[in-house]
Structure formats: structure tokens, C-alpha cells
């Protein structure tokens, strides 16, 4: 089992905590081989990287997912700050409360400049959300189904957030608005290949965890 960090924005952290987000989509790095999109497998000692042509070899390409494989884990990086400890006079027989980590996702009306540290700077120790990958695949962004769009947690965030029409929109439309808000207005029309990572939330690993730590691409 390997364990990697992954970034999530505040609204998506809230969806994870609510249990409404069980999938995430991240843009895949795709090369063009003789006019055909392809995924390169990681190079191994003494060998050359294999090439998987898409879409015909999409199932085989899933073994190259940089976010991991089923059974691997992702710990969530999110915006945070360390709350100062309370201090008392030495004559008061009350022990000092240690400094605590607080998370911006728990304060949706807060502003970025209020002492919050960006999610990219979160170390492993204060991370509070651990996910276990249940499946990975690669597909075109616009191939998302209504069921999968709902599993992206959009109902927790999107209705009414971006336009009046989003209030009663289908999950696929909500997800499209969410995707464009994160990746830019032209990102949906580009219809890139994306890694689809499905997961379940698990209890945090103990301090003596023995899983192998690795870095993963840190997209929002």
C-alpha cells in the first residue's frame, strides 16, 4: 500500500466530510503518438516506457495512474492554520491547552488572507481526511454520467453558486460549472483525458503507520 497527498478545495473538503464526494477527476498528461493520444507508462530500470493508445488501451493505461491503484491511500491537503494555545498565569492550576490545527473548510465565510496557510503547504501530521482508492480509470471529461457527476459532490456546492440556472440543474451541468470554476472557462470544451479516481473515506492511519509515502500530482 502506498500513501500520497492530494489537494482539495474548501467546498470539496466539505463534500468529503459530508460523504457526498466519492470521486475526483484530474487532467491526465497525454502525449500524441502518430496522431493518436497515448499514455506513457513510468520508465523502469533497464527498459523503455510502454505506450498505451487511447481509447483502445484505456484499461491497460489505468495501471499508470499517478494517483495510485485500488488499495492505495490519499491523504487530503487543505487550507489550514495553527490556532494559538491558551495561556494562563502560573498560579492558576489549569494546564495550558496546546495549539490546535483549524481548517478553512470549516469556516466557509473566511477570506484567504486571514492567516490561512495554502493547502499545498500542509504537512502530513495535521491532515484529517484519509481516502482509500477503490478504482481508477481514464476517460474523456465530457463522458461523465449523471451518477458520476453526483458522486463528485456537486450537490454540496454547486446549486445556485455560479448562476441562477444552477439551482435546479442536473448534476452533470453542476459539475461542468464546478470544473470551469477551477480549471478555466475553456477547460470543459477542451474535453481532456482525465483520471477518474473513486475512493472511500477511512479512519486515519496511526502515527506508526508503515505505508510507503509518495508524492502525487497536486491539482485542485
**Nearest of 157, 154, 152, 156 to residue 198 by alpha carbon:** 152
**How many domains does the chain contain in total?**
1
Highest mean pLDDT among 61-65, 181-185, 212-216: 61-65
Element at 16 (helix H, strand E): helix 10-18
Domain that holds residue 189: 2-78+120-213
91 falls within a domain: no
Region 17-45 average pLDDT: 90
Residue 184: Cβ within 10 Å count: 10
Asked whether residue 37 is assigned to any structural domain, the reply reads yes
| Residue-by-residue DSSP string for 114-179 | SSPBPGGG--STT---EEEEEEEEEEEGGG--HHHHHHBTHHHH-TTTS-GGGGG--HHHHHHHHH
Summarize pLDDT for 80-120 with one digit per residue, the tens. Answer: 998 776 555 555 555 556 678 899 999 888 877 778 999 99
Check residue 88 and give its pLDDT: 55
Does residue 101 belong to any structural domain of this protein? Answer: no
> For residue 149, what is the domain's CATH number?
2.30.130.30
What count of other Cβ atoms lies within 10 Å of the Cβ of residue 135?
13
In this structure, is residue 15 part of a structural domain? yes
3-state secondary structure of 197: strand
Per the prediction, the chain carries an average pLDDT of 83
Residue at 134 is within a domain = yes
Residue 180: how many other CB atoms lie within 10 Å: 15
- Whether 83 is covered by a domain: the verdict is no
What are the pLDDT digits (tens) for 170-210? 888 888 888 988 899 999 999 999 999 999 999 764 433 33
Bridge partner list, 102: 81
Report the pLDDT value the prediction gives residue 5, as an integer from 0 to 100. Answer: 97
46-50, 95-99, 153-157, range with the lowest pLDDT:
95-99
Confidence of residue 140 (pLDDT cuts 50, 70, 90): very high
99 in any annotated domain: no
What pLDDT, on a 0 to 100 scale, did the predictor assign at position 120? Answer: 95
Does 200 reside within a domain? Answer: yes
Residue corresponding to grid cell 474535453: 191
Amino acid at each position: 500500500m502506498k500513501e500520497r497527498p492530494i489537494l482539495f478545495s474548501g467546498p470539496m473538503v466539505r463534500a468529503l466530510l459530508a460523504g457526498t464526494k466519492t470521486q475526483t477527476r484530474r487532467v491526465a498528461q497525454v502525449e500524441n503518438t502518430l496522431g493518436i493520444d497515448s499514455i506513457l507508462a513510468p520508465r523502469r530500470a533497464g527498459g523503455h516506457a510502454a505506450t498505451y493508445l487511447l481509447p483502445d488501451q484505456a484499461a491497460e493505461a489505468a495501471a499508470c495512474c499517478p494517483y495510485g491503484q485500488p488499495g492505495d491511500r490519499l491523504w487530503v491537503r487543505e487550507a489550514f492554520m495553527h490556532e494559538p494555545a491558551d495561556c494562563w498565569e502560573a498560579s492558576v492550576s489549569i494546564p495550558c491547552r496546546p495549539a490546535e490545527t483549524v481548517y478553512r473548510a470549516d469556516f466557509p465565510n473566511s477570506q484567504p488572507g486571514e492567516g490561512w496557510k495554502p493547502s499545498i503547504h500542509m504537512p502530513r501530521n495535521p491532515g484529517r481526511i484519509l481516502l482509500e482508492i477503490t478504482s481508477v480509470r481514464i476517460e474523456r471529461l465530457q463522458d461523465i454520467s449523471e451518477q458520476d457527476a453526483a458522486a463528485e459532490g456537486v450537490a454540496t456546492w454547486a446549486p445556485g453558486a455560479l448562476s441562477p440556472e444552477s439551482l435546479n440543474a442536473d448534476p452533470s451541468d453542476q459539475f461542468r460549472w464546478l470544473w470551469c470554476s477551477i480549471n478555466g472557462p475553456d477547460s470543459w470544451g477542451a474535453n481532456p483525458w482525465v483520471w477518474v479516481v473513486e475512493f472511500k473515506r477511512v479512519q486515519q492511519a496511526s502515527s506508526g503507520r508503515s505505508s510507503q509515502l509518495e508524492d502525487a500530482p497536486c491539482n485542485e
